[in-house]
């Protein structure tokens, strides 16, 4: 179907080819060996420096026992986390493919073709004109925030704008779990449109929740609206079957991925506008000292119902929405206007508009335990569906115009997206300031992989001004490349999952040799020095089993 469209329509081919190159650029180079300025090793771009390494650690270390284990915290069961994609890739490693090749090379290809096919099916359901497909693909693949306006005004450049204020567009490829969950949501919409085998909604919700926790909000909205339509049309038997399937899929996903066994992805905490305040409080964004001072003064004075305070908050929310959604605001406003004027809307458009509103409201009203700002991930779904709505609104406005004018509008939209696209290409083709794991450490960890399974104690993390990955970020890299579980590492992930690690961290800082009974190996990076680990030389049951210029590996006798 889509192949025939590409053969007949050169513009669709061009859009998809450019999108493919851009999206693969964001993910495919990471996890590969390069040599820049004589520094050879495994390099990582963007959020892959932390997130990509974490997922490699899951694939390599988490699933080696039936009770899945937490890669960077010995004794902790992996729970409260969406590990489905990692588990699938782990199973695929048994056919001889490396986790890095699977994660950074193969699964992105599978995602792009799956996503494109599903998006094409959605497009044909909404409008059969091929012109709409051009707009839909362009808005979904390339649309961006107005972050570049902030960068131009504040710093005189568009560089650094693609992730400001919220990750979107091709940068979302640094979060493959989210991108795959979009495929599941599109599949849910298609199942509803077909109207058959609606029990599949339960299976899709199970899969989606296994991919991403934040998927729950748009998924439940889609299912709920569909169930209401079934009840309204008096299709009670189908409604009962669908409701039971959705309930069963949700409960099963909870039991498999989120049932609390000592760790949790973190609950939502009521804290209105905490995230939106960043837009005017962060000096890298649309900083406004006057608004900030006035707001804090009025709040401290207890004037919560002051018109001035409300006006400041409304303006702050407006900036937050404007800079995040960019031109997509046209789709939101246009969809609302259409409903008000026509007193109706399509099931697709109405459902997507509800998702946009809900996924915008939740991060405005709530923060998350552990990592407070992480509720922003709900907004990712709102941004995605707003892109579809915007393509539809723009198409409805211009579809009867002359083709030259339509293509001019499309070109104009793409020009609006160009600054963010340029920034993505620039950032993901640069070697300067990109972190890497040196070959010498890779070799040490490959040796550690050959040793019998046992916990690994590493030095606690302190940032150093260096491009070497473990000097810049606390990551799960030792687990990722050795397959061994570490005693404690990657505090960002520990915070996110609500693991109380402070006592363990303090014990290592004070006397690391007192915890040797809980591990089998000690991994020492020489550039950080031995420090408190000097006690290793006094341990009669410990000896060095591997050493190079960068690393010493100690093992129990």
Torsion angle of alpha carbons 378, 383, 384, 389, nearest 10°? 130
Whether 321 and 445 share a structural domain: no
Question: Which residues are bridge partners to 326 per DSSP?
Answer: none
Can you give the pLDDT at residue 263?
46
- Domain hosting 512: range is 32-78+436-556
Decide if 56 is inside a domain: yes
Residue 134: inside a domain: no
| 491 & 343 share domain | no
Report the distance separating Cα 253 and Cα 82, nearest Å.
Answer: 9
Let me know whether 193 and 322 are in one domain.
Answer: yes
Do residue 345 and residue 394 come from a single domain? yes
Q: Does any domain span residue 115?
A: no
Q: Is the pTM of this model over 0.75?
A: yes
Residue 300 lies in a domain: yes
If asked whether residues 377 and 506 sit together in one domain, one would say: no
SS3 readout for 459-483: CCCCCCCCCEHHHHCCCCHHHHHHC
8 Å CB contact between 31 and 45? no
Burial pattern 360-387, b for ≥16 Cβ within 10 A else e, equals bebbbbbbbebbbebbbbbbbbbbbbbb
Nearest partner of 367 among 485, 503, 272, judged by Cα = 272
Q: 427, 457, 491 — which closes off a domain? A: 427
Judgement on whether residues 527 and 465 belong to the same structural domain of the protein: yes
Read off φ and ψ for residue 127, nearest 5 degrees: -150, 135
Where do the DSSP E strands lie in 386-478?
A: 435-438, 456-458
Q: How many CA atoms lie within 13 A of 192 on its CB side?
A: 29
Q: Which of 409, 427, 445 is the last residue of a domain?
A: 427
Domain assignment present for residue 346? The answer is yes
Query: Helix 347-365 to helix 176-194 angle, to the nearest 10 degrees?
Result: 150
Together in a domain, 393 and 287 = yes
* Pair 542, 440 in one domain: yes
- Residue appearing with tokens 């590492």: 489
Please check whether residue 219 lies inside any domain of the structure.
yes
Residue labelled with tokens 């006057």: 290
Whether 287 is in a domain gets the answer yes
Whether 111 maps to a domain, the answer reads no
Phi, psi values for residue 521, rounded to 5°? -130, 155
305: helix, strand or coil: coil
H or E element that contains 319 = helix 307-325
- As a dihedral over the C-alpha atoms of residue 79, residue 30, residue 420, residue 286, rounded to 10 degrees, the angle is 50
- Same domain as 250, residue 302: yes
> Could you tell me if 407 and 485 lie in one domain?
no
- The residue from 405, 427, 449 where one domain ends is 427
Residue the block writes with tokens 């995602």: 111
Q: How many domains in the chain?
A: 2
Please say whether the beta carbons of 185 and 205 come within 8 A.
no
pLDDT digits (tens, 9 = 90+) for 355-383: 999 999 999 999 988 778 889 999 999 99
Flag residues of the chain having pLDDT under 70: 1-8, 260-266
User: Same structural domain for residues 485 and 529?
Assistant: yes
Claim to verify: residue 289 and residue 168 sit in the same structural domain = yes
Cα 494 from Cα 543, distance rounded (Å): 30
């Amino acid at each position: 179907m889509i192949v025939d469209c590409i053969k007949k329509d050169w513009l669709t081919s061009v859009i998809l080819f450019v999108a493919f190159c851009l999206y693969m650029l964001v993910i495919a180079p990471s996890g590969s060996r390069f040599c820049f300025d004589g520094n050879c090793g495994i390099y990582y771009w963007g959020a892959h420096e932390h997130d990509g390494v974490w997922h490699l650690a899951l694939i390599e270390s988490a699933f080696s026992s039936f009770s899945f284990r937490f890669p960077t915290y010995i004794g902790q069961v992996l729970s409260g986390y969406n590990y489905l994609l990692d588990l699938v890739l782990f199973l695929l490693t048994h056919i001889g493919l490396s986790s890095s090749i699977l994660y950074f090379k193969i699964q992105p290809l599978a995602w792009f073709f799956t996503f494109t096919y599903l998006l094409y099916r959605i497009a044909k359901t909404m409008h059969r004109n091929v012109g709409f497909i051009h707009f839909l693909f362009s808005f979904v693949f390339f649309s961006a925030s107005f972050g570049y306006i902030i960068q131009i005004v504040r710093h005189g450049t568009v560089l650094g704008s693609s992730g400001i204020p919220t990750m979107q567009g091709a940068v979302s490829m640094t979060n493959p779990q989210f991108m795959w969950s979009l495929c599941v949501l599109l599949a849910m919409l298609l199942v509803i449109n077909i109207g058959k085998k609606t029990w599949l909604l339960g299976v899709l919700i199970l899969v989606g929740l296994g991919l991403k926790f934040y998927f729950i909000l748009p998924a439940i909205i889609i299912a709920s609206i569909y169930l209401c339509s079934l009840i309204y049309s008096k299709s009670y038997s189908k409604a009962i079957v669908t409701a039971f399937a959705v309930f069963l899929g949700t409960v099963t996903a909870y039991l498999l991925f989120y049932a609390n066994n000592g760790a949790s992805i973190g609950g939502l905490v009521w804290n209105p506008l905490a995230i939106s305040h960043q837009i005017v409080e962060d000096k890298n964004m649309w900083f406004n000292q006057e608004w900030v001072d006035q707001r804090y003064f009025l709040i401290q004075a207890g004037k919560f119902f002051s018109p001035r305070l409300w006006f400041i908050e409304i303006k702050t929310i407006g900036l937050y929405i404007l800079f995040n959604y960019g031109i997509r605001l046209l789709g939101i406003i246009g969809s609302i206007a259409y409903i008000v004027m026509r007193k109706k809307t399509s099931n697709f458009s109405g459902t997507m508009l509800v998702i946009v509103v809900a996924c915008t409201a939740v991060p405005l009203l709530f923060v998350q335990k552990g990592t407070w700002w992480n509720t922003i991930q709900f907004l990712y779904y709102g941004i995605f569906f707003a892109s579809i709505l915007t393509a539809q609104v723009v198409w409805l406005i211009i579809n009867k115009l002359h083709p030259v004018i339509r293509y001019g509008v499309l070109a104009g939209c793409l020009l609006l997206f160009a600054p963010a696209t340029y920034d993505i290409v620039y950032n993901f083709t640069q070697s300067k300031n990109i972190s890497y794991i040196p070959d010498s450490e890779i070799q040490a960890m490959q040796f550690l992989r050959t040793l019998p399974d046992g916990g690994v104690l590493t030095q606690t993390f302190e940032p150093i001004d260096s491009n070497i990955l473990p000097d810049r970020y606390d990551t799960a890299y030792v687990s990722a490349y050795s397959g061994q579980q570490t005693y404690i590492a990657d505090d960002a992930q520990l915070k996110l999952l609500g693991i109380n690690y402070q006592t363990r961290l303090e014990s290592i800082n004070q006397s690391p040799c007192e915890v040797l009974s809980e591990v089998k190996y000690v991994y020492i990076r020489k550039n950080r020095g031995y420090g408190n680990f000097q006690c290793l030389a006094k341990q009669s049951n410990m000896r060095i089993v591997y050493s190079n210029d960068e690393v010493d590996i100690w093992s129990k006798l």
